[in-house]
Structures are given as structure tokens and as C-alpha cells.
Structure 1
Amino acid sequence: MMKFKTISLFLFIVLMAVFNAYGQGLDEKYYHTHRGSLNNSCQKFQEGEARIAFLGGSITYNPGWRDSLYTYFTHTYPETDFDFINAGIPSMGSTPGAFRFERDVLKNGPVDLLFLEAAVNDFTNGRTPTEITRGIEGIVRHSLREDPATSIVIMHFVDPVKMKDYRNGNVPEVIRLHEEVARHYNISTINLAKEVTERIDAGEFDWENDFKDLHPSPFGQDIYYRSMKKFLEGACEVAQKDEKLKTTQIPGPLDPYSYANGTLIEPGDDYASGIGWELVEDWQPSDEIGTRSNYVDVPMLVGVYPGEPIRFQFEGNTAGIAVASGPNAGIIEYRIDGSPWKKQDLFTQWSQQLYLPWFFTLASGLESGKHSLEIRLLEEKNLESEGRQAIIRYFYYNAE
């Protein structure tokens, strides 16, 4: 009998090892926080038409888990006509997401389900806690104001710094901030950063050979997809029992200056009247440095040399510029309503490699009313930059 028990224990250990080796040792549901329900979107999936948007950075833009979800939805609901919107743009977190929300997410109308991720870029791009809260809350409020029946899922993707935080017993600050917004608006979340960390620590796979990078390998993309699939199955299994669409009562904002009314404005001829500025209708780089979609062959307001300031009039509490920050990015001075001039270096740590789309918020927390933003180029430049240009794709502001 003792020998049988020993053999049984040995077999159990072997089976558990095999179980873990194939990524089945931990249950995905432990990393899912279901708040409210996805009843509305799950109901829409069965009614013949549904619109699903994916808003995030490069991990959303790149092929992988998102394509797997396309297949999941179309196979699970074969009679439904889906409008999938890939609003992922590399390098962009919640602040750009809030200001481009109208253009990129709502371009075909309200969405039934919004997948939202920004935890990686909000951290790597160095956004402050205030910016992170205002950005992610702005996206949520804008979405719910457009259609209170929209379902939202916030996802936290993994990177090495988040893994280190969890291993030290800490919740990464950006995830904590996103979760505060999710709790306030009763939004469900999927914590893939914690899930990947704990699966690696359990010996299911490793980072270097399997998952490989914060831009996951096909193996890592499948880890993401499987967790999302299980989340959706659990949510819709419950939601199918209720046939009534419900609208969300939008609570008051956590931050009264959240970017809930983000707006993009393309520059026109009226902005190029200042000496030293030129409106280029179909801008292209003069070198062989790469660009990003929507930041080439489009109108750009280019500051060629230090001269006169340009002025952007707006009515709201926040304003900034979205630029193509390349190897020749310069330094600007700016001021609001005639206040003292402040400096902003437009060169980033990635500018030597790419004309990087970058959102510089120049003023926020302003009093309600009309304001004037002035911008001028400086003669001085970043020591790593090859020039002194400002290449402006958009002005942006948060309307009243």
C-alpha cells in the first residue's frame, strides 16, 4: 500500500509538471476582475451587427492577440456582421488616446465594446500620475458620453519593470492608477502583467526564450489571447441570461481636468503666417529616417528657423501639440495668455531612430474660457539633435 501511494504521488507530481509546462497550471480567471457586466456588448453580438474597437499602442497595433480575437468573435457569432476598428498606434498611451479618440475610435460611430490598453506606454513614455489619470479617465468618459451602453475592458500588458514590481510585492503605479479609474466607472480589467509574471515564476515558460519581449512572440501573443478568450466566455455566459440593454450612469470625474473632450486640430494656412513657419501640404522627411502612418504625406506646420511666434486660440482647460519628433527636433518656447515663456525640448530618446509621433501637453488645469497658446522656435538645440525644427501635425485641446 505504501509503495502504491509513493508511485501515485510520483505520478501526480509528474502530471502537474506536464500540466504546468503547457501553460495550464494557473487559471486565467484569477487575473480577471469582473465589474459590472458585458451584457450590452454580448447582447449586440447576437443581434446581427456589432462594432468592436481596440485602442492602444504597438502591442495593440501589431498582429497577434487582436487578430485571434477577430477570429474568435466571427467564429463564435457567425451570423453577426462585425466592424473591427484597430485604433492601435505604436508609442501612444492614454494621453494621445484621449485626444485622438474621436478621430480613431468613433470614426464609424459609437462602439459596442472597447478594448483599452495603455499601461506599457504610459510608463515608458514617462507620463506623470496626473497625466495618466486624466488620460485614461478621459477616454472612459468620452466613450460613455458618446454611448452609455458601451462596454469597456481595460487590459494591463506586461513589461520587465512591472514584473520586477510584482516580484517585490508592489503593484506597478500605472496599473494602480488605471485600476482606480476602472473601479470608479465599474469597468472590468484583465491583468496580463501579473498573469505573465506569475506563470513565469511558476515555471510554465520563461521570458527570454518564450515570451521574449514586451512586444510578445507568437507564443506570448497566444498567452494574451487565451486569457482574453476565457474572460469573454465567462462574461458572456452570464450576460446572455439578461436580454435588456443597460445604460451606465456616469459618475462625477475623479479629476475635473480629465481629457474627456479631447480634440485634434490640423494646422492650416492661418497658422503659417509667422516668419520662420511654413505649411507643408504633403510632408515627407528629407532624410531616410522612418515615419509612422498618419505622420507622412499629410499637412505639417514646420518651424524652419527661429522667427515669429504662432498662435493657437482655443476654449478649454488643456492644450498641446502633436509633432513628428525626428533627428532634427528643436526646442520651442511657449506661453499661455501672455504668461512668462517656458521651454520644451521636442527631441526624445527615440528621435534619432524615427520621426516619432509625440504629444506634448503644454498647458493643463486652466480656468474655463478662451485662451491663446503662443509657440516660437529657439536658436538653441538639444546636443543630440541635428537641427532646430518643429514639425507640428496637430494642435490639440480639451474643450469645455
Structure 2
Amino acid sequence: MNLSRSGRIACCLAALVWSAVTCRCEDTQPASGDSDTLPPAVAKAPAVTVRGDLYRSRQAFSATGTGRVAFIGGSITEMDGYRPMVMESLAARFPETEFEFTNAGISSTCSHTGAFRLPTDVLSAKPNLLFVEFAVNDDQDAGHSHDDAVRGMEGIIRAARTSLPDVDIVITHFVNPSMLQTVQEGELPTSIRAHETVAEHYDISTCNVAMELAQRIAAGKTTWAIYGGTHPKPAGNRIAADLIEDVFRQTKFSSADAKSGNRRRDLSRRLPPPIDPSSFDRGRFLARDAITMGPGWSYVEPSWKDIAGSFRERFAGRPLTVATVPGAELEVAFSGTAIGLFVLAGPDAGVVEFSIDDGDWQAAELFHGFSKGLHYPRTVVLKSALDDGPHRLKLRVSKKKNEASQGNAVRVLEFVAS
């Protein structure tokens, strides 16, 4: 999206309340959400951690008069919340710069999906500055372990810095009720702890909305209801935008600072060794010619009006790789260490069985807790930590299904590998 200065301002002053298209909106007050006491370690913990600087993007914005900025995350990024506020701040800090903004937020998706779609949805735009948000969805949607959350977030950060060595990155941790309660009890939620591990390793600045909110609630400055819930109201999004603004201030991030020569510091961008060699830093969508479909499979746009379950318009008009009959089989050729499916898993989502390199057959459940009323977008990683090299996946529709599912359907948006 190319915006003139007036267009940028108009865009950024657009509606800040979004009718959420997600299937889970935990906007009720958590049991301990308005706690007025915090463990000392939490009460004194900074909500903003500045690492490295934003020098490269600042110089690009100032020297060229153009700027490319991308946002990737789940529904909190997709909605008109903190993102337009940050866009407005950038327009004010760099008034002579023409910005191109990329909104790569997709509701319900986690950092694994983010890593696999990064080349298509973000890196293709060649951003100078990237904002990342996946803490909530890695928690409530994917339920990732610490290692799985590291694997997804490191995949995003390492891939971005490999493809675009000069890209500056800021990670923001939003919050849901259970995550807030965890912070109030003196612990970091698993997803935030994992993402901080990655941020520290790669020298990335972070903004911890969960920590800031817990501290403000304890100080009597706000409540969970005022914040607005898992999908924040304007007041909650303003907290996040203000934390990012603090990163901007500390790193002297403006055209005026660029002209005066002010800078915080400029650290080397040599990539450190990976935290997890099996992280999804080579995540990608596989080309259609990698897929050999057998009988029972088709590449077609489903007739959504004839299929039970609600459907998000962002997926309208897209052909999917589809099978609904048990026993239907296909094969996928890929290289790397991981293989998976980016699917729409609705009320009739089934189970797939798979074998890699003619090994033992295993099963993977596609039906999700949120599939009962929605064709829910999710990535199912079938296998990771494989030996790096060429592999062949055999995949078939199982006769088995979740007892809550209405069928055996497999609807694949993309086959993914890393």
C-alpha cells in the first residue's frame, strides 16, 4: 500500500475498533485480572527492552525518502489496532518519507505459520522495518511448548535477517487473560519467555504489553475491561503503540535524529549460530509441481456455501488441495528438515496418515478446538528435525476422525517445508 503523507494520516486515523473475525475472543475479565499486588520482580521489571538499534531503517527512510514497513502476526496485527497507531507515529517521525506498509496479519495463526509464509507475505516486500506479534496465538491457539515457540519465532527472525541483513525488527508481546494471570503470579508466559529467548539471541528490541498492563493494573491506572480484552480496545492498543514509541525514543528514531547524526549504537549484524538447528528459518510454501495427487484428490475452490461452518472471506477464491474420502493418497517431494500442512480445518476436518521416505505410517489430527463452527486456519507440522536433504512424503486421508468432527475432510491451503 503506497501512501502520500495525507493518505498516510487518513489511513492511520481510520477506525481503531475492529469487528474481530476470530473464533475466540476472551474479552471477559480474568479471575485475577485486576490484582493490586505484584511480586517484586514483576513490579520492577521493564516493559521495554531495547537491544541493538534501528539505525539502518532510520537511514533508509531519511536518505531515500521512501520506507517499507511490514507487520506480521495474528488477529491483533490484522485488526485496525496498534498497527495504524505505529504507522501514524512513523509518518510523524519521518514527515518527508513516503511509506509502503504491509499488513501480514492473519487471524488465528501462530509463529509456525508465520515462518512458513514469511517469504511470500513479508520478504517479497523487502521491508526496512518489521514488527512481529505472535505471543497470544502461540499461547491460546497453538498451545506451543517453549521449544516449539522458539522454533517458530527463530524461524521468522533468522529468515528475515538472512534474506534482508539490514532489516530492523521489533517484537511485541500482547496478552490474554491466562497470560496476564501468569505475569501477576510472577512468571513469564511460555510464549513470551520463548520469544524473549530469541530476541536476546538476535539482539532484537521487545515490548512486553503483558508486563506493562500488569503493572498499570496494580497501580490502579487501568483495568482489564478498559484495556479491552484479548483483542484490545483503543486504550489497550495505545499501550502497545506507546511502548513501541519508547523504543523509537531510546533509539533516536526520526528524520531529525538522522540529520543531526544522533544514533544509539550500531551492532554487527553477523548471524549467531541458531538456538535450534531445526528452527523454521527456511520456511516456505511448496510449488504445485512438488505435489502428485492420486484418485480422490482435487485442486479446486471448495463450494463454501454448501459446507457447514463459517468461512473467512480472505480465503475466498483460492483453490485448495482437497480430499474427503478415506484412503485418498498423494505424494510430496521436498527438501529440508520439516514438512507440514497449512490447512483450513472446519467442522468436518479429518485425520491424515503420513509416511516419510517409506518409513512407518503416523497420524496427525487436523480438527482443532476452534473448528466446530469455523474453517480454522492452522499449520500442522507433520515432522521436523529430519536429516537435511531430499525427502518424499506420502499422505492419505484416514478412516479415523475426531469424535467431534462431522467428516474426514482435508483442505490444504499450502504444503509447507523448511
Q: Normalising to structure 2: TM-score of the pair?
A: 0.83
Deviation at 1:287, TM superposition (A): 3.0
Question: Larger deviation: 282-291 or 194-203?
Answer: 282-291
- Give the corresponding residue for 1:235: 251
What is the 5 A alignment of 1:302-341?
302-341=322-361
Structure-1 residue corresponding to 2:297: 277
SS for the counterpart of 2:335 is strand
Aligned partner of 1:89 among 106, 118, 125: 106
What is the match of residue 281 of structure 2?
A: 260
- Structure-2 residue corresponding to 1:188: 205
Number of aligned positions between the proteins: 371
Please provide the CA RMSD for this pair.
2.4
CA distance in 2, matches of 1:314, 1:269: 7
The aligned residue for residue 136 of structure 2 is 120
| Distance 1:277-1:227 versus aligned 2 partners, 3 A rule | same
Q: Indicate the SS of the match to 2:252.
A: helix
Aligned residue for 1:34? 50
Give, as a single letter, the amino acid of the residue that structure 1 aligns with 2:154: E
Is 2:182 the partner of 1:161?
A: no
Looking at structure 1, the residues matched to 100 and 271 of structure 2 have their Cα atoms a distance apart, in angstroms, of 26
Q: Is the 8 A contact 1:119 1:156 kept in 2?
A: yes
- CA distance in structure 1 between the partners assigned to 2:185 and 2:337 by the alignment: 38
Larger Rg: 1
Q: Is the 8 A contact 2:53 2:264 kept in 1?
A: no
SS of 2:337's partner is strand
| Paired residue secondary structure (2:46) | helix
Over 3 Å counting, the alpha-carbon distance change for 1:352 and 1:265 in structure 2 is same
* Greater mean alpha carbon deviation, residues 380-389 or residues 318-327: 380-389
**Partners of 1:276 and 1:308 within 8 A in 2:** yes
Q: Please tell me whether residue 150 in structure 1 is matched to residue 167 in structure 2.
A: yes
Question: C-alpha distance in 2, partners of 1:263/1:393?
Answer: 13
Task: State the 1:244 CA deviation.
Answer: 10
Question: 1:181-235: per-residue Cα shift (whole Å, max 9, x none)?
Answer: 1111111111111001110111111112x11311001221122222222221222
Partner AA of 1:94 in structure 2:
S
Q: Work out whether residues 351 and 402 of structure 2, in 8 Å CA contact, stay in contact via their aligned partners in 1.
A: yes
Distance 1:264 1:189 in 2: 28
CA distance in structure 1 between the partners assigned to 2:185 and 2:208 by the alignment:
17
Any stretches of 5+ residues in structure 2 without a counterpart?
1-42
Per the alignment, residue 234 of structure 2 pairs with 218
Alpha-carbon displacement from aligned partner over 1:45-94 (angstroms, at most 9, x marks no partner) = 22201111111100011102111111111122121011111111111121
Once the two structures are superposed, what CA deviation does each residue of 1:83-110 show, in whole Å capped at 9, x if it has no partner?
11111111112111100000000122x2
Which residue of 368, 372, 376 corresponds with 2:392? 372
Letter aligned with residue 370 of structure 1: P
Cα deviation code 1:363-394 (max 9, x no counterpart): 10001221111111122221111111101111
- 1:321 is matched by which residue type in structure 2? L
Q: Are the aligned partners of 2:353 and 2:395 in contact in 1 as well (CA < 8 Å)?
A: yes
Give the conservation status (yes or no) of the 8 Å contact 1:267–1:299: no
Aligned residue runs from structure 1 range 338-353, under 5 A: 338-353=358-373
Offset from partner CA, 1:152-199 (integer Å, 9 cap, x none): 111111111221112211122221111111111111111111001110
Letter in 1 for 2:133: E
Amino acid in the other structure paired with 1:177: A
- Report SS of the residue matched to 1:83: strand
The corresponding residue for 2:319 is: 299
Code of the residue aligned with 1:265 in structure 2: it is L
Does structure 2 conserve the Cα–Cα contact (< 8 Å) formed by 1:56 and 1:92?
Answer: yes
Alpha-carbon distance between aligned partners in 1 of 2:60 and 2:377, rounded to the nearest angstrom: 35
User: Sequence identity of aligned pairs in percent?
Assistant: 36
Does residue 107 of the first structure (1) align with residue 124 of the second (2)? yes
CA contact (8 A) 2:135 2:191 kept: yes
Alignment partner of 2:123: what SS? coil
- For 2:378, the aligned partner's letter is W
Corresponding position of 1:248 = 269
Please name the residue that 2:70 is paired with.
Answer: 53
**TM superposition shift of 1:280:** 0.9
TM-score by length of 1: 0.87
Would the alpha carbon gap of residues 377 and 151 (structure 1) be closer, same or farther in structure 2, given more than 3 Å must change?
A: same
SS across alignment from 1:153: strand
> Is the 2:341–2:412 contact (alpha carbons within 8 Å) kept by the matching residues of 1?
yes
1:269 to 1:371, Cα distance in 2 relative to 1, 3 A = closer
Q: 1:244 to 1:218 in 2, by over 3 A?
A: closer
Residue matched to 1:172: 189
Question: Would the aligned equivalents of 1:318 and 1:361 in 2 still touch at CA under 8 Å?
Answer: yes
Matched, 1:392 2:412: yes
Q: Name 1:200's counterpart in structure 2.
A: 217
2:156 match: 139
Structure 1 unmatched ranges of 5 or more: 1-26
What is the Cα deviation at residue 263 of structure 1? Answer: 1.0
Partners of 1:130 and 1:119 in 2: CA distance: 14
Q: 1:206 to 1:244 in 2, by over 3 A?
A: closer
Residue 192 of structure 2 aligns to a residue whose secondary structure is helix
| 1:171/1:346 CA distance change after superposition, 3 Å | same
Alignment deviations for residues 282-321 of structure 1 (CA, whole Å, 9 cap, x no partner) = 6635236322355331111111201342111111100001
Q: Is the 8 A contact 2:347 2:406 kept in 1?
A: yes
Q: Does 1:290 align with 2:306?
A: no
Separation in 2 of the partners of 1:96 and 1:292?
Answer: 17
